[in-house]
Structure 1
Amino acid sequence: MAIQKPSHTLAKIHLKALHTKSFNTLFILSFTVFINMFCFAQELPKPKDPIKPAPITDSTVVKTDSIIGLPIPIKEIDSTLKDSVPKKKKEFLADIVKYKAKDYVSLNQRLQQTTLYNEAEVIYGDMTITSGIIIIDHNKDLVFAKGIEDSTGVYTQPPVFKQGANVVEPDSMVFNTVSKKALIYNSRTEQSGGTIISEISKRENDSVIFVKNAKFTTSENLDDPEYYFLMRRAKFVPGKKVVTGLANMFIYDVPTPIGVPFAYFPMSDKQTSGIIFPSFGEDNGNDRGYFLQNGGYYFAISDYIDLAVLGDYYTNGSYGLRFETNYATRYRYNGNLSVRYENLINSERGFPDFSKSTIYNIRWSHSQDSKASPNSRFSASVNLGSSTYYKQSTNQLNLSNSQNNTLSSSISYSKTFQGEPQANMSVTATHSQNTNTESINMTLPTFQGSVSRIFPFEPKVGTKKGIIQNINFQYNVRAENRIQTTDSLFFKKEMFDEARIGALHTIPLTTNFKVFKYFSMSASATFEENWTYNTIKKFQDEEGEIITEDLTGFDRFYTYNFSTSIGTTIYGLFDFKKEGKDPKIQAIRHVIRPSISYNINPAFDQYYDSFEVVDADGTTTGDISREEYTRFQGSIFGAPNQNFSSSLGISVGNNFEAKVRDKDSTATEPKKVILLNNLNFSTSYNFAADSLKWSPMRVSGGTSILKDKMSINFGATLDPYALDNNNRRVNTYNINNGGSLFRLTTANINMSYSLSSKTFDGSENPQNDAAIQESIRSGGRADDLFGKPQDFADQRLSDDDKDEDGDKELSDLYNYKIPWSLRLAYAVNYSNSTRQDEISSHSLMFSGDVEFSPRWTVGASSGYDFKNQGFTLTQFRFERDLLSWRLNFSWVPFGTYNQWNFFVGIKSNLLKDLKYDKRRQRDQQL
């Protein structure tokens, strides 16, 4: 019998309970204890009176001589203190009372009362009371105010009590003019977006009010609020706070278990700092455990800048931090900055799916008012970070951003130096990042300078005429420090190893003039000088391998070229009008803009070198023994031209418009309709080429139809040359090879269509959707074809402030006219450059929303790939407007980003922390 030693190869049982990090837990508990020790729920307590020392009685008795008597107290009275003039008695009213009434003002001498009836008003100091009936009791220093009840029992003209900036609307009230205290019955007071409806209110002064059985709500329907918090007893300080004892929520007068033993509602007309309460849940998709999200603190730094610090924490150790700030100075500049960082841990250590990664994203937007500095301008649009941020972020609900392939940034400063000639300069830093390949291209920085056009032969008086007077030149310079790196080397010193520096100086000399009255002709010569700090050297080493050596040091070359062009505009009109007839299409106008250009680019062989290529036997290889290269091929602005070219360019632009009879019989002129915005043909012929002298013809065009709601753009490439058996272009025309005049190599068509129910009733009014602006800031589309951004934790992306249509139906349960919107995008591309004869891409994207009732909206975004035969990214949206509440549900049913999000919460910013947010995050992506 043998004893088997336990091995790690046996079954391993692992208990996964609520996982946490001991260090993090200890830190959180310590922080909580610290807060409890040094923080207070509402206010700082008043300092207590100091403890005075107890008096000590001396037991020693000292005897006093009887001869010495005790001192007799003598009180001296100043005879001048008593004035013969008696002190004036304090008057009943310290301020002047102004009152008026529409019907009458009566004075009862016996009761010492003044009665004001119908639209009565009393003004006393900073206090104003307007009501149907006001009674002033001069004996008791009281003012009574109540409304008027007519014969039908309708209560009208209830009192309105205003003191300073505070307004109270009760059913009736009693006010003491001496103590300035008041008893107010069934009052309504609006404070900072919330309303307090109190059964009885005792107003101590203009800063403290005690209320009993009060309702606190943000509902707009105060007669029947859909929800409120019932406060049995509370203290209300207008413009500052509401402090209450036991309070619970009522929904349509039905009590709910949602309540608190005490509550503190801050109220302020100004921005105030405060805690942002997090939402909680569980992440099952990536096995991160329970989490707290979007919790933090808001800093109201000043009227010009704020800061929000938000964080997420998961029980498996993952966390995220976000810093967001907005700043603005009127008539000068405004902008916002967002920095996001996440440390993601998937699963747990020891499991095969365990992984750890960090992602970040930085966004900065800055714009300057054009009036702030007319001669200089600074702007910034930054969106950079990890290539996988929008795909892996645990708190990213902007679905459309996950489809971004490129992140780009630009920070620029420009300045204009006034004078003659005028000079301009700009410094720009740019960034372009491909999220698929993780390659990054940057310029740090790009400097551009220019001097405005100078006409050396222009006349001192009059306009410029002729070829000589129109001669002009200018100077331009562009310098760059270009960096190419990858995502893994970003912000590391290795990213500067491949930096390339160069500058391009350009002096164009041009002139233009008329030829034969109807032709416009221009001629130009351009001189360029290229400065570079990066060159190369090629040679063959002893092993026969061709080596390219990078050299650093200043070097330069210059080039020049000549060009001229002539063009005109031809107008053609096809009139369909006939005597006695009024056709629908009255005329078609065709505008043709032909143009011919000629370009000469000399060859600059002096900048080319050569080296010998030796075969394996040690001998040269004859005609191919020397290889030519230029040391400037590493220049960021290109290398000098090696081949001489003399080419003729031909282009024709077309425009078609029609005059159509207007449907409005009162219109005096026909309506203009655009048939084709443009239809362009272009090609060129190179006289200096030894073969394939004609370049492929490019055809492009576009138009808008259906009242400019549908835009259509198309293009095609036509090649006049044939292909050989290896699908290579040969110097034989396609028509001579048994084909057509041209061979279609590529073609594409793009269509977009947008319309809504408002299009047909003429009430369409495009709105600046905050969600769409958020998508644009992140480099996304300006529509919701890839899904609508819905960050439920941040109401800045919601549409709470929608304008209600004045012509909506009376019922809130259904719409007689159902509002709807639809957006379509169709694209197809054809490829046949090497006889593949295939549709390279073919897709249709669509998005729409339908408002079934005034408060119930359903929307969807999706697409279909006809080539791969499958649906693209699909999102369903459901939204219910619950008056003071809002309910959202977003669902991605399938695909990589399969997820759903549910939210219900109060709209008002005052109580927006009262919410329920539940989400099912997408599964882990490897």
Structure 2
Amino acid sequence: MQNQYKLYANIKTAVIFLCVLTFITFPLLANSRCINKFQQLLTIPADTIPARTDSGISAPADTLPAKNVIRKPVISDSVSFVETDTLSDSSRRIVVDTTLFSKDSLDAPISYTAEDSAVLHIPTKQFLLYGKANTTYTDMKLDANTIEYDQNKNLIKAYGGTDTSKGALNLPTFVQGDQTSIMDTVFFNLKTQKGLTKNTYYKAGEMFVNAQRVKKVEKDVEYAYRGRFTTCNLDTPHFDIRARKIKIVNDKIAVSGPAFPEFEGVPMPIAIPFGIYPLQRGRHSGLLPPQFTTSDVFGLGLEGLGYYKVINDNWDSRIQGNIYSYGGWQADATTNYYKRYKYRGTFALSAIHTKRLNNDLYSLSKEEFYTSNTYQVRWNHSSDSKARPGTTFSASVQAGSTQYNKNLTNNAMANFNNNLASSITYSKTWGLGNNLSVSLNETQNSVSRLINMNLPTVSFTTPTIYPFQKKEQVGSLKWYQKLGIGYSGNLLNVVSFYDSAINFGKILDTMQWGVTHRIPITLTLPALGPLVLAPSINYQENWYAQKINYSDWNKKSGKVDTSIERGFYAAREMSFGMSMNTRIFGTYNFKNSKLRHEIDPSIGISYKPNMVSKYYKNVIVDSTGQVRRISQLQGNVLGGFSEGRFGGITFGISNLLEMKKRNTDSTSADSVKKVRILDNLSITSGYNLIPDSANKERPISPISISAGTNLFNKINITANATINPYRQDTANHYHLLWKEGKIGQFQQGNLSLSTSLKSKSKKDDRSDEDRLNDYDETLTPDEQQAQLDYIRSNPAEFVDFNTPWSLQLSYSLGFTRMLQSDLIHYKNNLSTNVNVNGTISLSPKWQLGGGFYFDIITRKLQASNFFLTRDMHCWQMTIDINVGLYKSFTITLNPKSGILRDLRINKRFMQQ
């Protein structure tokens, strides 16, 4: 019985195993019609996970909760799923099945995920993803609630989901490159890159675009129907521009037909005939739009009209100009060039044909219009020091008509810039410090209309030579081994003429040249305790091309007659000296602070023989017989040496004063705050112990005073002056003014004060340069500087509403006392002015600002600018008033976005 029972058990087990095997394999027979059952096996619900692993070992059904399963299959030649347990660090690969697709169906695999389920339909070659589906193919990424892929047509369809409480869910989001689009429905062909989307939103650069339908015909070309675009980033924008048809070329340009602006949803009655909207970032060619202006002096006008052309990576050019109805015009051509590790530069040529209405009632001219032609050339060039080490070449040229700045119509501050300067410099260094520098310099004054040109200036210097030093020094240097000899030489050529009477012959007559040689000999002696001794010998020789012969007073002409004698003339000067200096410190202690005073006194003994007396002459300068001793070398390009023998002492003293204050509430290392009260106060002069006949009545040398400080790191003060302790009478005698209770006569001096104050920024504290980088990081340094100049000349358009207030103040005072051409009288020239600029926020959205330049001597307001700005989120309104040589009143309404900065509503009135 027992054996029979065992046999029965074995038979029973075999029968059950055959039944199970038959049940599993029957649907897989080739002639089976159970297609729906087979498809159901490849449908993977979220709550049923196949429990067959690679090793063939079954896993319990409750090993991993279905809600924590994320499947990441990849379509290539097979389909597989990776099951990840989000509750643990373990993961295992589950092989579902293998389905072979055509090798040439796609050129890259598709990675996809789905939160709900993934369905593969073999007969129709369709693949469906449900619930937060995501697919990635090459550089394209698509997220949606439902994604359908048809392999036969290479077509992808995507839809969003709905929720009764939350509305639309998981709208299709398409990302290709740096462009992201959100739409309701998308149809896209993976091979042809063509597609159709409905109710599409996407951002291109700074532009936000919405279209009812968008048809993608090529990879980078799209057509939009019933579209609107704006730079406002709100869900309901403050403004937009609507167009029925739009063509978009990604990262290049968008073109539309008639477009209608809308503000707060209200359409404007004015239509734009067509629209061209640049989408390309960085350097690209294009038109420069103008702005409209009206003026009773120039008439109606368009300003800023032009074209920008990118020639290649190293060159670009801009042509821009203004045109006015009375016949005036301005044309500017600017070329930028750049070669990495070599050089960079800018060349600009500007011409102005001024034709303005003569409305000056006091003018002597009876002409209806004032007409003039002016021009200016600008060239800036700099070479990279890495290109040719030891050799540099730079240029900063600003030359042209002296009246050019006066004829500018849109730059009030430039109208009062009377001086222009240019320089071109080549420098080469070789050996142990030999340096040769060749430069061309030019200065112009628009008031006197005088032009001075240095053609060229040559400088040569050699390093200091120590003749007593050994080539291989061992130990410390002896005192005599510190004896050094140097050399420097300069060649100057000067041409002066007036631009109102240019004549080549007269220019040659004004040409002057001169050469100067300097040979300094220095020696550093060992310190004697706190004293430092430094002997010196200086030799200087000047060569001149002419001297001036003075005749005594001419009763018939009523002046001193002069004549120029050309030739070669040499003058020399030599001095010997010994200087001694030291440093003295003093400290004054207070309760919580310490005042530190540093004094640097110096004293020296020097001797200078009289080696130029032959070039000095006594001249009767008026009918009373007044005599002046005049140098025949004055007026030369190098100037003359001072006459007289000097043998005496020179002395000077400089001071530094600062305070250190301790913060009693802090114990950190930075608890001590240092405040500079006086950076420098120095006084120098001298006394002649052996004066000769030329200066026996004035042994005391002129007193030089200079001072500078930066109070509280806010107020910068600099001053200097030269005081003559003697007064000269009509009999050519000198009197010490100290005996008359006076300090002396001021020969020259200047004083300048400046400060810049502003409140703490609400967001950040950045300069104009930092804000400029936010505007466009692709600008070259030259382009950044041009944009920065535009910001500074148009402050109303770049108001920082994060700074409640700001203030910049500067004051300057200058004085010079010069001998007149009659050699008798002195003329005192005094100039003083105040420059004020500032802004203040009237509210978080309103800001008032401006500035003015006031000449205290003439009591005239030379130039002023005031503006009122309103921040309207994505737009900005500005009322700008300029008063100067030309007066203007401007109202501007423009978008804040850089891409639409030139799309402005502008009304400008200008008069003289």
Give yes or no for contact 1:607–1:631 (8 Å, CA) kept in 2.
no
Task: Tell me the equivalent position of 2:580.
Answer: 566
Moved more, 155-164 or 442-451: 155-164
Q: Does 1:638 align with 2:660?
A: no
TM-score by length of 1: 0.74
> Residue 406 in 1 paired to residue 419 in 2?
yes
Indicate how the Cα distance of structure 1 residues 741 and 212 shifts in structure 2: closer, same or farther if over 3 A, else same.
closer
Give the aligned partner of residue 123 of structure 1: 136
* Contact 1:163/1:206, CA 8 A, preserved across alignment: no
1:110-259 pair list within 5 angstroms: 113-117=126-130, 119-138=132-151, 141-149=154-162, 152-163=165-176, 167-177=180-190, 179-191=192-204, 193-217=206-230, 219-221=231-233, 223-259=235-271
CA distance in 1, matches of 2:554, 2:862: 56
- CA distance change for structure 1 residues 770 and 189 in 2, over 3 Å: closer, same or farther? closer
Correspondence for 1:685: 687
Whether the 8 Å CA contact 1:398–1:789 is kept in 2: the answer is: no
Does 2:715 align with 1:710? yes
Q: For 1:220-246, what per-residue CA distance to the aligned partner results, in whole angstroms no more than 9, with x for missing partners?
A: 416223332222133333344434333
Counterpart CA distance in 2 for 1:632 and 1:379 is 33
2:473 is paired with a residue whose SS is coil
Identity %, equivalent residues = 28
Amino acid at match of 1:293: E
The match for 1:917 is 906
Match of 2:34 in 1: none
Counterpart contact for 1:532–1:555, Cα < 8 Å: yes
Query: Using a 3 Å threshold, how does the CA distance of structure 1 residues 533 and 916 change in structure 2: closer, same or farther?
Result: same
Tell me, in whole angstroms, the C-alpha distance in 2 between the residues paired with 1:315 and 1:501.
49
In structure 2, do the counterparts of structure 1 residues 700 and 113 end up closer, same or farther at CA, with 3 Å as the change threshold? same
1:362 matched to 2:362? The reply is no
Distance in 2 (alpha carbons) for counterparts of 1:742 and 1:262: 75
Rounded to whole Å, the distance in 1 between the matches of 2:888 and 2:551 is 58
Task: Go from structure 1 to structure 2 and tell me whether the alpha carbon gap of 1:503 and 1:268 turns closer, same or farther (over 3 Å shift).
Answer: same
* Corresponding position of 1:62: none
Q: Does structure 1 retain, via aligned residues, the 8 Å contact 2:413–2:863? A: no
| Structure 1: distance between partners of 2:751 and 2:330 | 44
Alpha carbons of 1:730 and 1:481: their partners in 2 closer, same or farther (altered >3 Å)? Answer: closer
The correspondence for 1:701, drawn from 689, 697, 707, is: 707
1:819 and 2:804 equivalent?
Answer: yes
Please list, as runs of the form range in 1=range in 2, the aligned pairs for 1:259-338 lying within 5 A after superposition: 259-265=271-277, 267-269=279-281, 271-284=283-296, 286=297, 288-338=298-348
1:425 to 2:436 alignment = yes
Q: Distance in 2 between matches of 1:632 and 1:917?
A: 60
* C-alpha RMSD of the superposition: 4.4
Corresponding residue for residue 850 of structure 1: 840
Contact 1:843 1:864 in 2 (8 A): yes
Residue of structure 2 equivalent to 1:892 = 882
Q: Offset at 1:829?
A: 7.4
Count residues in correspondence: 779
Q: State the AA in 2 paired with 1:482.
A: V
Secondary structure, in 3 states, of the residue corresponding to 1:214? strand
Structure 2 residue ranges without an equivalent (≥5): 1-99, 360-364, 773-781, 820-825
Report the alpha carbon displacement of residue 451 of structure 1 after superposing the two structures with TM.
Answer: 0.9
Q: Distance in 2 between matches of 1:491 and 1:304?
A: 40
For 1:539 and 1:296, the matched residues in 2 are separated by 61
**Cα-to-partner distance string for 1:500-522 (whole Å, 9 max, x where unaligned):** 12221222111121342221122
What SS is found at the alignment partner of 1:874?
strand
Alpha-carbon distance in structure 2 between the residues aligned to 1:291 and 1:550: 53
Partner-residue secondary structure (3-state), 1:391: helix
What is the CA–CA distance in structure 2 between the aligned matches of 1:195 and 1:389, rounded to whole Å?
44
- Matching residue of 1:601: 608
Which shows bigger deviation, 316-325 or 120-129?
120-129
Q: Report the CA distance between 1:214 and its aligned residue.
A: 1.1
TM-superposed deviation, 1:416? 0.9
Query: Once the 2 structures are TM-superposed, how far is the Cα of residue 590 of structure 1 from its aligned partner?
Result: 1.4
Identify the residue that residue 388 of structure 1 maps to in structure 2: 403
Q: What does residue 894 of structure 2 align with?
A: 905
- For residues 902 and 372 of structure 1, do their structure 2 counterparts lie closer, same or farther at Cα, with a shift above 3 Å needed? farther
1:328-727 equivalences in 2 (<5 Å):
328-347=338-357, 351-394=366-409, 397-417=410-430, 419-420=431-432, 422-459=433-470, 460-461=472-473, 465-489=477-501, 494-536=506-548, 548-576=562-590, 583-585=591-593, 587-604=594-611, 607-608=614-615, 632-633=633-634, 635-662=636-663, 664-668=665-669, 670-687=672-689, 688=691, 689-706=695-712, 708-714=713-719
Distance 2:816 2:498 in 1: 32
Could you give the per-residue CA deviations for residues 186-215 of structure 1, whole angstroms, max 9, x where no partner exists? 223444543432111122331432221111
Which amino acid is 2:646 matched to? S
Distance in 2 (alpha carbons) for counterparts of 1:305 and 1:271: 11
Residue 628 of structure 1 and its aligned partner are, at CA, apart by 8.7
Distance in structure 1 (CA, Å) of the matches to 2:844 and 2:622? 83
Q: Distance in 2 between matches of 1:141 and 1:179?
A: 9
Deviation at 1:456, TM superposition (A): 1.1
Q: Match of 1:399, SS? A: coil
Amino acid of the residue matched to residue 244 of structure 2?
A: R
Tell me the amino acid that sits aligned with residue 665 of structure 1.
S
CA–CA distance in 1 between the matches of 2:278 and 2:831? 57
Task: Report the AA paired with residue 793 of structure 2.
Answer: Q
Q: Measured at CA, do residues 281 and 762 of structure 1 come closer, stay the same or move farther in structure 2, by a change above 3 Å?
A: closer
SS at match of 1:514: coil
Question: 1:64 corresponds to which residue?
Answer: none
Q: CA offsets per residue over residues 332-354 of structure 1, 9 Å max, x none?
A: 33332332211112338995443
Task: Give the aligned partner of residue 17 of structure 1.
Answer: none
CA contact (8 A) 1:489 1:495 kept: no
Q: 1:791–1:866: structure 2 CA closer, same or farther, 3 Å change rule? A: closer
Q: Is the alpha carbon distance of 1:163 and 1:319 closer, same or farther for their aligned partners in structure 2, counting shifts above 3 Å?
A: same
Distance 1:693-1:150 versus aligned 2 partners, 3 A rule: farther
The alignment status of 1:799 with 2:812, answered yes or no, reads: no
**What is the identity, as a one-letter code, of the residue corresponding to 1:563?**
G
TM-score by length of 2: 0.75
Q: Would you say the 8 A contact 1:888–1:903 is kept in 2?
A: yes
The match for 1:51 is none
Does the C-alpha gap of structure 1 residues 677 and 858 become closer, same or farther in structure 2, counting only changes over 3 Å?
same
Preserved CA contact (<8 Å) 2:293 2:909: no
CA distance in 1, matches of 2:747, 2:905: 57
Name the SS for the 1:432 alignment partner.
Answer: strand
Query: Is the 8 Å Cα contact of residues 770 and 798 (structure 1) preserved in structure 2?
Result: no
Per-residue CA distance 1:136-189 (angstroms, 9 max, x = gap) = 245665322234545631545433324466543323312234654322122234
Q: Tell me the distance in 1 between the aligned counterparts of 2:234 and 2:763.
A: 35
Structure 1: gaps of 5 or more residues = 1-87, 577-582, 772-776, 806-817
Give the CA deviation at 1:876.
0.8
Contact 2:294/2:910, CA 8 A, preserved across alignment: no
**What is the distance in 1 between the residues matched to 2:517 and 2:547?**
18
Deviation at 1:375, TM superposition (A): 1.0
> Is the Cα contact below 8 Å between 1:101 and 1:118 reproduced in 2?
no
Q: 1:327 to 1:877 in 2, by over 3 A?
A: farther
Give the superposition deviation at 1:559: 3.5
